Structure 1
Amino acid sequence: MYTDEFQKDVAKIKDNLIRSRIKKLVQRLIDNPMSGKPLKYDYTGFRSLRIPPLRIIYEFNEKEKTIILHKFEHRERAYK
C-alpha cells in the first residue's frame, strides 16, 4: 500500500535509473519488511530505506503483515 503523498513523490521522479532502484527496494521490502532502518522521535514506528540522497519512509504493521509507503523525498526534506 502507499499514500497519496508517496505516489506524488514518485511521480516527480523522471530519472529511469532511480525509478528502477525504487522498484528493487520495494521488492526487497516485500521480501524483508524489517530491512529498513528504524526511525526515532517524531517518526517512532516508521522505518527508512536509502537511495542516496533520497529516502523511502514506510511503516510495517507486523500484526496485519502490511507495508505502507509514506514518503519518497530527498533526505533534507524527508523528515520534516
Structure 2
Amino acid sequence: MPGEQGPFEILYHPLVVERDIPALPKRMRTRIKKAIELRLATRPLHYGKPLRYSFKGHRRLRVGEWRIVYRIERKTRKVIILIICHRKDVYSALEPRLKPR
C-alpha cells in the first residue's frame, strides 16, 4: 500500500504503560519491544491483522501467545497501542479500554 511504510509515531494508552508492560515476563518484554520497533513503527498495516465486530477499526499483532492491539491514525502517521495482553484475556480486557470515559 502506498504511504504505508514508516516511520509511524508510537503512542501508548496509559494503562499499557502502568499495567501491561510491567506485567510482562522479562523475555516477552524484549520480544514485544522489538516487534513494536521493527513492525508497528514501520509497516503497521502489513504486519497487523484487522479485528472484526465490536473491535472493527483496530488491529492486532501476535507475538508468541501475547497480543498487541492497536489503532492506526493514517493522516498523522500514529499507531496507538491500546493493550498488550496474553491471548486468553486480551479481548475481555480490551473492551473497557475502548469505552469513552
Q: Fold conserved (TM > 0.5)?
A: yes
Percent identical residues: 34
Q: Which has the larger radius of gyration?
A: 2
Q: Structure 1 residue 56 and structure 2 residue 47: aligned?
A: no
Q: Can you list the C-alpha shifts for 1:27-56, whole angstroms capped at 9, x where unaligned?
A: 121011212000001110100011221100
Q: 2:31 maps to which residue? A: 21
**Superposition CA RMSD, Å:** 1.0
Q: How many aligned residue pairs are there?
A: 79
Q: Please, what TM-score do these two structures have when normalized by structure 1?
A: 0.90
Q: Please, what TM-score do these two structures have when normalized by structure 2?
A: 0.73
Q: Describe the SS at the equivalent of 1:23.
A: helix
Q: Describe the SS at the equivalent of 1:79.
A: helix
